[in-house]
Amino acid sequence: MKVFVAGASGRVGRKLTEDLVADGHDVIAASRHPESIEQTVHVHPVHMDLHGSVENLSRVLDDADAVYFVAGSRGADLLQTDAFGAVKLMEAAKRDGISRFVILSSIFALEPEKWAVTKGIDTIIDYDIAKFFADNYLVHQSGLDYTVVQPGTLTEDPGTGKITIDEGQAGTNPIADVALTLAKVLEHGNTIGKVLKMRTGDTPIDSALADVK
């Protein structure tokens, strides 16, 4: 596939790009700072401004087969980037006839009653509010073939290649495992229309995704 990654210069985006290329995909690596991304035969850096219009975003999608939103402002620009930027990219994808859309979110982002009482996310409630609106739009209004991936707290620990996907408690996730889970979603059509709450676990990522009902 030709895959568009919004936020390709970020912590998750860089590893996701590597994993997608390893799986045989070509990546349009979109970022505010495309100069920080190495261009290769399979990676094509492009400039993306999430403050721009839907029309401008659609111009850089370049007939992609699938779109990932893993961009984030790390708290500096939550409304324009994490919330409305995601919505505009959804609309751009829909305008261009790209139905497959995968978004990186946060555990329990669609369940605000859990935010203040869940360790690890009780300190990032503004971020969860932004993700709440982005996820809701994707699920209920976009009309896209979506997958929402909701990890727990991201860590720099080495990946284990094993996760748990369930409705249970929040946990932690190495960035490498989150990126690989995002990449492997494309191989599992059963994840379309699903919100995947994940944490480090004992099940290999492919098997955990294959078991999603």
Cβ atoms of 28 and 65 within 8 Å: the answer is no
In sequence order, the β-bridge partners of residue 151 are 198
* Residues with catalytic roles: 127
Query: Percent of the chain, pLDDT > 70?
Result: 100
Judged on CB neighbours under 10 Å (0-12, 13-18, 19+), 161 is: middle
Q: Model-level pTM?
A: 0.96
The Cα–Cα gap between 22 and 62 comes to: 21
Using the predicted structure, report yes or no on whether residue 42 has a pLDDT greater than 90.
Answer: yes
Mean of pLDDT over the chain: 96
Residue with the two structure tokens 């989150």: 178
Judged on CB neighbours under 10 Å (0-12, 13-18, 19+), 65 is: middle
Nearest to 8 by CA among 25, 117, 208: 25
Structural domains present in the chain: 2-210 (3.40.50.720)
How many Cβ atoms are within 10 Å of 189's Cβ, its own excluded? 11
- pLDDT score for 198: 97
Structure confidence by residue, pLDDT tens digits, 199-212: 999 999 999 999 99
- Buried b / exposed e over 84-122, threshold 16 CB at 10 Å, is bbbbbbbbbbbebebbbbbbbbbbbbbeeebbeebeebe
Structure confidence by residue, pLDDT tens digits, 97-118: 999 999 999 999 999 999 998 8
The Cα–Cα gap between 73 and 96 comes to: 25
Q: Confidence band (pLDDT; 50, 70, 90) for 122?
A: confident
Give the pLDDT mean for 53-57. Answer: 97
